[in-house]
Amino acid sequence: MAHLRYEALKNVQNRQKIDVEQPSEKISDFFGQKAFGYEQMRAALSPDTFKKVDHAIKKRKKIDQETADAVAAAVKGWAMSHGITHYTHWFQPLTGATAEKHDSFFDAQKGIENFKGSTLVQQEPDASSFPHGGIRSTFEARGYTAWDPSSPMFILEQVLCIPTIFVSYTGEALDYKAPLLKSLEAVDKAATKVCKLFDRNVSKVNASLGWEQEYFVIDKALFDARPDLVMCGRTVFGHNPARGQQLDDHYFGSIPSRIYDFMKDFENNSLELGIPVSTRHNEVAPSQFEVAPLFDEANRATDQNQLLKDILDKTALKHGLKVLLHEKPFAGLNGNGKHNNWSLSTDTGVNLFQPSSSARENLLFLTFFVNTIKAVYDNEALLLSSISSAGNEHRLGANEAPPAIISVFIGSQLSRVLDELENNGNIEIEKGDNLYMKLGIDQIPEIILDNTDRNRTSPFAFTGNKFEFRAVGGDANVANPMTTLNLIVAEQLTNFHNEVEAKINKGKERRLAIIDVLRDYIKQSKAIRFEGDGYSDEWVKEAEKRGLSNVRDTPRALDALLSDQTKKIFNKHNVLNDKEIDARHEILLENYIMKIQIESRVMADLALNHIIPTSIAYQNKLITNAQGLKDLGVDNSEVVKMIESISGYIGDIRKKVEAMIDARKKANKIDDTRDRAIYYSDNVKNKYFDDIRYAADKLELYVDDEDWPLVKYREMLFIR
């Protein structure tokens, strides 16, 4: 019966260590060797051509045919020198994964290796199976991919990968990258304009992203023996191990050697691809780890995260391991999150969230700081929707991750600065830096250095020189939350600029005009600031009083996408049009439905085919035993009690699984996608999952370990 589980455990015991060799002693020798980025282009192209590419990247302009041909020839030569014969357009459809379609450089007609600029720039993948939310009707089920020159091409698994956007034949975005690029353009435009109030030399503002990716690693054989992990990425059953994370002994503990080899290997692979991974340590849960590269421009960093997820997966397989990125692979243990460190910086080299030693420059810092807080306040529901997913539902508000309430933490010292600014109403203009002293903003740099009270329970925290969006799911494509953040800040900065200009036009001194507007914003956005314990029940009550959204279920959280305010800003900044928003909303709902449907099916299958039969077989043994005891005249009441318990749980599971299947049937008949998603959430997931699991986990506790068919938590988490 439990054959599969024991086979799997035996496999783990017989694992051979896989030695990992660093490609070269010095990292600098192999860093970025498999990427064809900015510097490689500079080296491979004529100065003239490079100048054109550089201009096109910086100004986000189209690359002309001739230049594209030159880049194509250069990258073909580079790839072939690495022994590469195939290429693919690499894109990020709304499924959340990345997609590829491989083609050969070899041109059979001409009998030579060929790669034209037009092929580099545009492709038409047979992509009718990617989600499109009704945008592509079946008769024009075509979309195309278009090269994004601002992100390096790279070699993965012997194929040249070309980062691209993916749009429908009629031009609507069908992926995550296209809107991200547009949001970056929007925030650049708006932020540059605001910067010019301070410094006319600024001509571009870049958004930076530094993500921190959490993941679990378990043995591949154990993974394969868990149909729920294979099908859903998370365990739908499993009793808590005797030893969980109570001891916190895993956190920053020593990394076990098999995992260490795997880490060395994927780090080498990442470094070769130009992903500057740097940190590794154990997370709170057993078998959980984290990787974080140095931050980069947000579009490139997003590609790097998508690529890294792939590298993690592929490298783990080589080591007989499996990486789990799901937001909640194991109940009762922390899940996988992804912190997104985000900042804006100018082409003159200023991080706009860096308080400065010059009091004067702190007004610039405060401008971006306060505007970001205001943007989050005005769009908290939209921001929440950008991180809502079936997986993340298990984390948000579950006492391990930030709640499903967006708030901003800035630390006590910056709170004091904002309070002071808010209250010192009638400042007169004075010469020199006296003004800043009066405003209380001459002191910020010292203050920040000393800002030790970082609040881990906040979903959106200021951490010295950047904001850290912590509520993002481990498996998510970060493009979605980053697009949203860039967009809302772009909108906010645009409004700010208008208001300041209006005051200046009325004769107000520039700095005082800025302060006036900031002061208003500080007052208006106060409700989003929260310095306390985000995991506490009091905060939930307090947030409700403040009118902040607290939506834990994805289908309802996604409503924020459809609000007038959302559509207005997406349209205004050219990031998504109404048709694209509607399609995205539809796709996200469909994704949600599919995930819950699969989880529910897997649950029912495992319960009916594995757990109940095993429990009945064991129960029969107990019945024989009870009868035997009785025949001998020995008290058998304890055994009888066990039989009754087991019987009760079996009955519970059977009834609830049947009712759940009925609920699914009902759900599937609902036409409207949102209603169907809500039905799945309320009447399939919330109504049955926990109860069925509770009974099944109890049975795991009762049934003889020898008979239990599913690999147990303690085996997945502690055996390696």
* Stretch 189-208 residues interacting with ligand ADP (CB under 6 A): 208
Least Cβ distance, residue 11 to ligand ADP (angstroms): 35
Q: Is residue 181 within 8 Å of residue 479, measured between CB atoms?
A: no
- Closer residue to Mg ion (CB): 69 or 212: 212
CA 387 to chain centre: 7
Provide the 8-state DSSP code for 240. Answer: P
Residue appearing with tokens 């580079």: 78
Give the span between the Cα atoms of 500 and 516, in whole angstroms. 8
- Closer residue to ligand ADP (CB): 208 or 525: 208
| Chain position whose Cβ is nearest to Mg ion | 339
Least Cβ distance, residue 211 to ligand ADP (angstroms): 7
CA 255 to chain centre: 24
Least Cβ distance, residue 463 to Mg ion (angstroms): 7
CB under 5 to 8 A by kind: which of Mg ion, ligand ADP, none does 466 bind?
Answer: ligand ADP
CB under 5 to 8 A by kind: which of Mg ion, ligand ADP, none does 351 bind?
Answer: ligand ADP
Sequence-distant (6+) residues with CB within 8 A of 162 are: 87, 88, 89, 90, 120, 147, 153
CB under 5 to 8 A by kind: which of Mg ion, ligand ADP, none does 147 bind?
Answer: none
- Closer residue to ligand ADP (CB): 214 or 697: 214
Give the span between the Cα atoms of 348 and 442, in whole angstroms. 22
Give the span between the Cα atoms of 316 and 306, in whole angstroms. 16
* Stretch 259-288 residues interacting with ligand ADP (CB under 6 A): 279
Residue appearing with tokens 């495992």: 606
Residue 292 touching ligand ADP (CB under 6 A): yes
Q: HEC profile for 155-191? A: EECCEEEEEEEEEECCCCECECHHHHHHHHHHHHHHH
- Closer residue to ligand ADP (CB): 163 or 210: 210
Classify residue 146 as left (phi > 0), alpha (psi -120 to 50) or beta.
beta
3-state secondary structure of 409: strand
- Closer residue to ligand ADP (CB): 364 or 711: 364
Least Cβ distance, residue 466 to ligand ADP (angstroms): 4
Q: Please give the residue ranges that form the binding site for Mg ion (CB under 5 A).
A: 212, 339
Q: What are phi and psi of 704, to 5 degrees?
A: -50, 130
- Closer residue to ligand ADP (CB): 287 or 455: 455
Sequence-distant (6+) residues with CB within 8 A of 683 are: 663, 666, 667
3-state secondary structure of 238: coil
CB under 5 to 8 A by kind: which of ligand ADP, Mg ion, none does 343 bind?
Answer: ligand ADP
* Stretch 339-398 residues interacting with ligand ADP (CB under 6 A): 339, 341-343, 351
CB under 5 to 8 A by kind: which of ligand ADP, Mg ion, none does 31 bind?
Answer: none
Buried/exposed 175-204: b ≥16 CB within 10 Å, e otherwise: bbbbbbbbbbbbbbbbbbbbbebbeeebee
Interface region with ligand ADP, contact rule CB under 6 A, candidates 55-63, 461-469, 570-578, 711-719:
461-469
Give the span between the Cα atoms of 392 and 234, in whole angstroms. 12
Taken in order 519, 523, 528, 533, is the CA torsion positive or negative? positive
Structure tokens of 104? 């050969």
Least Cβ distance, residue 234 to ligand ADP (angstroms): 24
Applying CB under 6 A, among 114, 413, 434, 465 the residue interacting with ligand ADP is 465
Applying CB under 6 A, among 31, 295, 368, 680 the residue interacting with ligand ADP is 295
| Chain position whose Cβ is nearest to ligand ADP | 210
CB under 5 to 8 A by kind: which of Mg ion, ligand ADP, none does 49 bind?
Answer: none
Buried/exposed 20-54: b ≥16 CB within 10 Å, e otherwise: beeeeeeeeeebbbbbbbbebbeebbeeebbebbe
**What pairing do the DSSP bridges indicate for beta strands 143-147 and 159-168?**
antiparallel
CB under 5 to 8 A by kind: which of ligand ADP, Mg ion, none does 129 bind?
Answer: none
Structure tokens of 684? 């399939």
Least Cβ distance, residue 571 to ligand ADP (angstroms): 28
- Closer residue to ligand ADP (CB): 466 or 595: 466
Q: How many residues bind ligand ADP (CB under 6 A)?
A: 16
CA 708 to chain centre: 35
Least Cβ distance, residue 339 to ligand ADP (angstroms): 5
Which positions from 212 to 241 touch ligand ADP by CB under 6 A, shown as an x/- string?
x-----------------------------
CB under 5 to 8 A by kind: which of ligand ADP, Mg ion, none does 465 bind?
Answer: ligand ADP
Structure tokens of 231? 């099908």
Give the span between the Cα atoms of 166 and 316, in whole angstroms. 29
Least Cβ distance, residue 338 to Mg ion (angstroms): 9
Least Cβ distance, residue 271 to Mg ion (angstroms): 21
Separation in Å, CA 516 to CA 367, 371, 510, 554:
11, 13, 10, 38
Q: Which residue type sits at 594?
A: M
Least Cβ distance, residue 186 to ligand ADP (angstroms): 19
Which positions from 239 to 258 touch ligand ADP by CB under 6 A, shown as an x/- string?
--------------------
Interface region with ligand ADP, contact rule CB under 6 A, candidates 338-346, 423-431, 571-579, 648-656:
338-346
- Closer residue to ligand ADP (CB): 340 or 566: 340
Q: Which residue type sits at 261?
A: D
Least Cβ distance, residue 663 to ligand ADP (angstroms): 41
- Closer residue to ligand ADP (CB): 123 or 208: 208
Give the span between the Cα atoms of 389 and 555, in whole angstroms. 9
Give the span between the Cα atoms of 603 and 587, in whole angstroms. 24
Q: Which residue type sits at 433?
A: D
Q: What are phi and psi of 561, to 5 degrees?
A: -65, -25
CB under 5 to 8 A by kind: which of ligand ADP, Mg ion, none does 294 bind?
Answer: ligand ADP
- Closer residue to Mg ion (CB): 392 or 615: 392
Give the span between the Cα atoms of 355 and 351, in whole angstroms. 9
Least Cβ distance, residue 267 to ligand ADP (angstroms): 14
Least Cβ distance, residue 702 to ligand ADP (angstroms): 41
Rounded to the nearest 5 degrees, what angle is found at the Cα of 464, between the Cα atoms of 152 and 362?
100
Least Cβ distance, residue 373 to Mg ion (angstroms): 19
Structure tokens of 245? 């994370």
Least Cβ distance, residue 339 to Mg ion (angstroms): 4
Interface region with ligand ADP, contact rule CB under 6 A, candidates 16-24, 177-185, 336-344, 524-532:
336-344
Give the span between the Cα atoms of 79 and 58, in whole angstroms. 25
- Closer residue to ligand ADP (CB): 290 or 310: 290
Least Cβ distance, residue 456 to Mg ion (angstroms): 9
Q: Which residues bind ligand ADP (CB under 6 A)?
A: 208-210, 212, 279, 292, 294-295, 339, 341-343, 351, 465-466, 468
